[in-house]
Every structure is written in C-alpha cells, then in structure tokens.
C-alpha cells in the first residue's frame, strides 16, 4: 500500500490488486485528478524562499565527490568494449553507479563484480510515453540482469495535461514491481515543464515512494539548471515533512554536467547525485584544483584543458 499525506493532515491511499498478463500488478486509486491537484497546490504554496539555500558539498579532492556520480553511457550505437571501459573507469574512480540501457545491465554487473559500484538502468527512455506494460517489462529485465537502481522517465505529457491519477497509477505500480532496496529515480524532464509542473512531478514521485527526482534525460531541451535543482530540493524538503514516512527524496542532476564547476554548482543547489558521461574529467579536475590550491602555482588553462580525455577515448554526451 502506498500513501501520501498533505500538510492539512488528509491521508490518501492506493490499493493494489493483481492484474492479468506479464505478471504486472495494477494499482487503482480512488483519488481524482482534482483531488491530486488540491494536494499539489498545498505543496506549492509552501515552496517559497528556497532559492538561497546552499547545500554542503563533498571534498572535491576526495572519494566522496566520485561517490555522487552515475557514470553514464546511453548512446544506442555504443559497443560492448565501450561498456568494458565504462566499468573500468567506474572501478578506478569509485563512482556510485554506471547508468546504461536494459540490454547492457548484465554485462556491466559482471564487469563490476567485486567492486562497490552499482548498476543503474534507464526505463521508458527517453520520451517516457511508453505504456505501463512496456515500462514494467523493462524494469523486470533490468532487475533480472542485476540492476539495483532504475531511472524511470515520467510521462510528462500526461503531467502537463493534469492526468495525475494516471501518473500515480503508473508510478505506484512500478514501485510495487521494484520494491526497496531497489532505488527508483523519476526523470521529470525539467526542460519541458514550468515551475508548477516541476513541483507536481516531485509531489507525485514522493506519493509513490520514489527515492530520487532527476532533472533530465539529456535528450530533450536543456539539461540540469541550478534553479530547477534548487526547486526540486525544496520540494523534497517540504514533502519529507508532509508525508507519513521519515524518508526524504533526493535530487539527481543530469544533462550538460561536464566540469568540476558544473558539478559543484549542482551539488550546492541541492543535488546529491550527478548523471554525467564526464565523470572521469570531473574527478580529475577536482584533484587538480586541490593541488593548485596547495601549490599556489596553478597550471595555465591551456595546460589543464590539454589533458582532457579526447572524444576517441570518452563518449561525451549532453546527458
């Protein structure tokens, strides 16, 4: 049973029942789109003055920075050897996860055996408009392969249309299909949403007991923006108070994060996980910055940039 609780103290519940076909579980909710909209409006009313919050960041020269990174390779044309490289880089740098498509999960799990690096898998990528059955099948495939985190794309067209009951049905069903300790991240595609819609997406994710809200797929519009991350972090703080559980959702920033400056900006805005294909460079830059501060004789910009991995060795994307 999933539940939500608004600041007014009203409690909403959704009851699950077995469904036919593919072993899926269908969720039903007795709450209308209008009732969900009222709950969301209560949340939005409380999201004020959060833009000035500066969150504590990990030491940029230490392992804690690497542990915020989901090392990502989602290009359709990527080959097996590139996933070997991806996993080797994740091992060496101590990243949180590698993030890949469903068909590459098992290979990455095998490549990462004996390390602390987990495998995350995208679901419904990248448009989010796949039906629930398709998303449930991808989630099951990923978990069978050994994925311990799922990055699920929100059907943001439904969100923009105010079809909240349908969205909750989908998210709650996927949560049942992938119970804890599997971590679920909802990719809300902030480039396609306004402020109210971002708040709505966060509220729906919290109601369905997701673990993260995430900015972007990296395939549509702009990627992570500081103001969006701050808004999402504020929503997570507010919803942790309003819900009837003591867990707090976290924020994953993804899309266009390529430098240590990008990474620190997102972490200070409230992100605790970063989705990027540039993790190797970000960690390298962080260590160089610490060394520069110690030596007080930093190398020139040309010297620093000249050692950046080339496109032949790293597949940088907008993700």
Instruction: Give the model confidence (pLDDT) of 163-221 as tens digits.
Output: 999 999 999 999 999 999 999 999 999 999 999 999 999 999 999 999 999 999 999 98
Q: Compute φ and ψ for 295, nearest 5 degrees.
A: -85, -20
Tokens of 174: 């996927």
Nearest one of 227, 281, 221, 235 to 257, comparing CA atoms: 281
> Residue 28: what pLDDT?
53
Among this protein's residues, is 214 annotated catalytic? yes
C-beta of residue 164 within 8 angstroms of C-beta of residue 37: yes
In this model, does residue 224 exceed pLDDT 70? yes
Predicted confidence (pLDDT) at residue 29 exceeds the cutoff of 90: no
Give the pair of three-digit tokens for residue 137: 């099948």
User: What pLDDT does residue 47 have?
Assistant: 87
pLDDT at position 245 is 56
**What 8-state DSSP symbol labels residue 61?**
T
Residue 301 vs residue 78, higher pLDDT: 78
Residue among 214, 225, 262, 265 flagged as catalytic: 214
- Tell which residue, 215, 161, 208, has the closest CA to residue 37: 161
The yes-or-no answer on residue 131 being catalytic is no
Catalytic residue from among 151, 211, 228, 262: 151
Which pLDDT belongs to residue 314?
Answer: 45
- Sheet-wide strand order for 2-5: 2-5, 11-18, 25-29
Active site residue 111: no
* 33-47+54-290 CATH pick, 3.20.20.70, 3.40.50.720, 3.90.1150.10, 1.25.40.20: 3.20.20.70
Residue in 228, 252, 262, 265 annotated catalytic: 252
Region label for 107, one of left (φ > 0), alpha (ψ between -120 and 50) or beta (otherwise): alpha
**pLDDT tens for each residue of 226-284:** 999 999 999 999 999 866 556 799 999 999 999 999 999 999 999 999 999 999 999 99
The 10s digit of each residue's pLDDT in 83-129 is 999 999 999 999 999 999 999 999 999 999 999 999 999 999 999 99
The answer on pLDDT for 293 being more than 80 is: yes
CA–CA distance from 154 to each of 24, 124, 237 (Å)?
18, 8, 21
Nearest partner of 189 among 175, 172, 202, 174, judged by Cα = 202
């Amino acid at each position: 049973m999933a539940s939500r609780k608004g600041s007014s103290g009203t409690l909403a519940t959704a009851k699950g029942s077995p469904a036919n076909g593919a072993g899926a579980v269908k969720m039903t909710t007795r709450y209308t789109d209008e009732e969900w909209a009222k709950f969301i409006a209560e949340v939005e009313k409380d999201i004020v003055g959060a833009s000035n919050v500066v969150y504590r960041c990990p030491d940029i020269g230490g392992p804690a920075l690497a542990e915020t990174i989901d090392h990502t390779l989602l290009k359709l044309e990527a080959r097996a050897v590139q996933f070997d490289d991806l996993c080797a880089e994740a091992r060496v740098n101590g990243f949180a996860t590698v993030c890949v498509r469903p068909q590459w999960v098992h290979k990455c799990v095998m490549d990462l055996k004996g390390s602390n690096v987990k495998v995350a898998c995208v679901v419904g990528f990248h448009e989010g408009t796949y039906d629930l059955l398709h998303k449930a099948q991808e989630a099951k495939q990923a978990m069978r392969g050994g994925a311990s985190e799922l990055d699920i794309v929100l059907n943001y067209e439904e969100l923009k249309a105010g079809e909240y009951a349908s969205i909750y049905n989908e998210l709650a069903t996927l949560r049942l299909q992938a119970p804890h300790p599997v971590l679920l991240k909802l990719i809300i595609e902030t480039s396609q949403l306004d402020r109210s819609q971002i708040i709505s997406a966060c509220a729906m994710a919290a109601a369905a007991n997701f673990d993260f809200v995430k900015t972007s797929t990296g395939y549509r519009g702009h990627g992570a923006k500081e103001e969006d991350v701050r808004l999402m972090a504020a929503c997570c703080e507010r919803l942790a108070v309003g819900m009837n559980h003591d867990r707090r959702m976290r924020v994953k920033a993804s899309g266009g994060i390529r430098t240590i400056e990008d990474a620190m900006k997102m972490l200070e805005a409230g992100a605790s996980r970063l989705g990027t294909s540039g993790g190797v460079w970000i960690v390298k830059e962080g260590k160089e910055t610490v060394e520069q501060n110690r030596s007080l004789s930093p190398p020139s910009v040309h010297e620093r940039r000249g050692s950046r991995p080339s496109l032949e060795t790293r597949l940088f994307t907008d993700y």
